[in-house]
Amino acid sequence: MKPVVLLIGRLPSVIGDVARQLDHLPIQWLGAHDPDEVRRQLDAEPRIACAIMGAGLNDKIRGEMVGIIAARRPDICMHLKDRSSGPDGLVPFVERVVQHEILNRLETS
């Protein structure tokens, strides 16, 4: 079974685009773009290995989503993308996190 990663971003199309660009990785991608969708994904999928949040959301919403994840699933590591790398930095950021946090660990276990 593939590890599951929850991608959180402002626009559903951006999340889908990231997943398409990284479809070569052995990951099952889930997406969410608002707090309600984050709740639904967390409740529906117990195998989420980590959550990666883009920088397009405002700080209040990002904070709310961090709180939701921490309260519902304290076992999930959260990774928040910086804003300085811009929208083009999202795919490389997600790829680095997944490679380091998930795939490298699978290779060594």
Domains of the chain with bracketed CATH: 4-108 (3.40.50.2300)
Average pLDDT, integer, range 98-107? 87
Q: What is the pLDDT of residues 42-74, one digit of tens each?
A: 999 999 999 999 999 999 999 999 999 999 999
**Overall pTM > 0.85:** yes
Residue with tokens 């929850």: 6
DSSP for residue 88: G
**Tell me: the pLDDT tens digits for 28-37?**
999 999 999 9
Q: Give the whole-angstrom CA distance, residue 64 versus residue 67.
A: 5
* Percent of the chain at pLDDT exceeding 90: 83
